[in-house]
Chains A and B, each alone.
Chain A
Amino acid sequence: MREAFLRVGTRTVAALVFLLLVAGALVTSTESGLAVPDWPLSYGKVMPPMVGGILYEHGHRLVAAGVSTLVGLEFGAIFFFFERKRKTLKLLAGAAFAAILLQALLGGLTVLFLLPPAISSAHAALAEIVFALTAVVALMCSKTWADLTKAPPDIPFKEIPSSPSSSSAENISSKGEETCSAFRWVAIATAAIYIQIVLGAVMRHTGAGLAIPDFPTFFDSWLPSLSVLSRPGVPIHLAHRLGAVVVVLLVLRAAKSLSGVPVPLLAALGPSWAGLVCLQAFLGASSIWSSKAVPITVAHLALGALCWVTGVLALVCLGACRNPSNALSSARRA
């Protein structure tokens, strides 16, 4: 009962953090970030009239207040009532709470300092960390995690016979190598996604989203000229476009390596992840074709967050499988 409550609660918190990200995307996409010029109050009130851009900005603040409280409660529940022995889980829940508090402070500062790109971009980058932390907490409270980290019932990993005649040992060893290889590729791809998200945040907050107004061409040319590169916003925009190519290639490679992992859930995750990233690239192009239509830019940001968290969750699961004893049990289950 207690575990079920924790499972549902942590998943709900992670989903609400995602909702908070979408609310933040609505603020930037509708350019409502300064519709409320004061902070922490809004026009000196707790509840101003929800008109125009205030609906998005104050709505984001209200969602943030609610979600921050829930992240705090999650941390409290994990720390004091539920998971007395799981240090990592407690640490992650505490980090999520600390990060969301810092996030609130950055949100306030960016309003008070009129959206300086450095603070606004840091706000966007930290939001992804908060989402990842709450998602990992939810994963670590799930049945999937319990299965992944279950100790092998009989012999420890090091006692497995390593003679060439033992085909099962060879098979296990090969599966372990595939898991390690997948871990490396997923780690690289996930890091690339995060860098790409930060580049996107800087592009968005420096107003460079349409610095190159056409796609896939660059100012009606297939290769950007040097004179074009000196235009404001073009370098960061170009970096985000090139980053997208790198991310798609890396995720496709990581997805391929995931298919060899002896955990059915992770093996199945590869194609979904690759599909998400390809759709994300299409949304990026669509945001240019539509001159930054609000629904498309919001969807682009939301899907970017999902791609990132998918990578993080896959990485954490692979990390658990990479543990020799867990790898053995996973291989046996496979």
Chain B
Amino acid sequence: MTGPAIRFRFAALCAAALLGTALLTGCGGKDDEDEDRPKSARAGASKEGAAKDGAAATSAPAASSAAGPAAGATGAASITGKIVFEGTVPAAEKFKMSADAFCAKSHPGDVSREDIAIGPDKGLANVFVYVKSGINGTYPAPATPATIDQRGCTYHPHVFGMVAGQSLEILNSDDTLHNIHSLPEKNEAFNLGMPVKGMKYTKKFDRPEVMIRIKCDVHGWMSAYCGVLSHPFFAVTAADGTYTIKNLPAGTYTIEAWHEKLGTQTQQVTVGAQESKPAAFTFKAGA
């Protein structure tokens, strides 16, 4: 083969490689935009994070309307109840946030751990209550993202639920750096640095998993728990221990209540269409 012919082939190969790279980069570009990219909404994220605090902790099955033939049904039934703690209320473990001047300034003095939060009438907060079995069909992920905010060197909310495939918006409203580190067993783990106030990341958990621990390795006291389900029938107890799982179709369900320290409990509940049934749980220390 002559010299010019070799050079021509080499140039053609280079052009093809460049074109291929450009096409691949173009295909991958959307994913990059969707996930892992800090959006650095420095100005607006703080307010937005504050407004959305706890939004993901209340169940929202509204997004399941655009379902195909195999889509799961929604209804007007609900399961409601109060989760209480029985026995001597354990003394809250205290700690100081002195490891970071910003955190110490946000929380001067001793801070109580969030793991066992007992409200009025011994109502137990931060219990994830969900339909463990009895749901048929598939439910699409809501378009509205669930949100977790790092604010005042704690996570808001501390316990929350989301549907598999739903976006999780992660905010840093603090004027200090955090890393957010998920520790799932069935989903892909992530560990993201968020050194700037107002930074925002979006991640997803694609598979149902109850529960996924989320932690900050910079501030060892920061932890949160996320329940990922294949359906939107879940709730997290409020400060007084109450919860409501709404929009259920009629049926017989196994309801599980999960608490990070006190374990899990289950109950079977049968609800008719447009009926509201109670399901109360009592957790005991060391049970």
Residues of A in contact with B (beta carbons under 8 Å apart):
30-38, 43-44, 48-49, 51-55, 57, 114
Contacts and interface: CB of A to CB of B under 8 A. Distances in A.
Contact of A44 (B101, B103, B195, B216): B195
A37 B99 contact: no
Given A51-B177, A52-B220, 6 more contacts: A30-B220, A51-B99, A53-B217, A53-B219, A114-B189, A114-B191
17 contacts: A31-B220, A32-B217, A35-B218, A37-B181, A37-B191, A37-B193, A44-B195, A49-B176, A51-B99, A52-B99, A52-B217, A52-B218, A52-B220, A53-B217, A54-B177, A57-B217, A114-B189
- Mostly helix, strand, loop or mixed at chain A's interface? loop
Contact of A35 (B101, B176, B217): B217
Interface size of B as a range: 20 to 34
Contacts, number: 59
Contacts of A43: 177, 193, 195
A31 B191 CA distance: 14
Nearest to A207: B183
B40 interface: no
B220 A51 contact: no
B96 to A, nearest CB: 12
Given A52-B220, A114-B189, A35 B179 contact: yes
Contacts of A37: 179, 181, 191-193
A55 B103 CA distance: 15
A73 to B, nearest CB: 32
Given A48-B195, A51-B100, A114-B191, A33 B217 contact: yes
- Which of B100, B179, B217 has most A Cβ within 10 Å? B217
Given A51-B100, A52-B218, A36 B176 contact: no
Given A33-B217, A35-B179, A37-B179, A51 B195 contact: no
Contacts of A49: 176-177
Contacts of A32: 217-218, 220
A36 B179 contact: yes
A31 B218 CA distance: 9
Contacts of B219: 52-53
A30 B191 CA distance: 17
A36 B193 contact: yes
The 7 lowest CB-CB distance pairs between A and B, nearest first, are A35-B217, A52-B218, A51-B100, A52-B99, A37-B193, A37-B191, A43-B195
Contacts of A54: 177, 218
Nearest to A49: B177
Contacts of B193: 36-38, 43-44
B268 to A, nearest CB: 28
Given A35-B179, A37-B179, A53 B191 contact: no
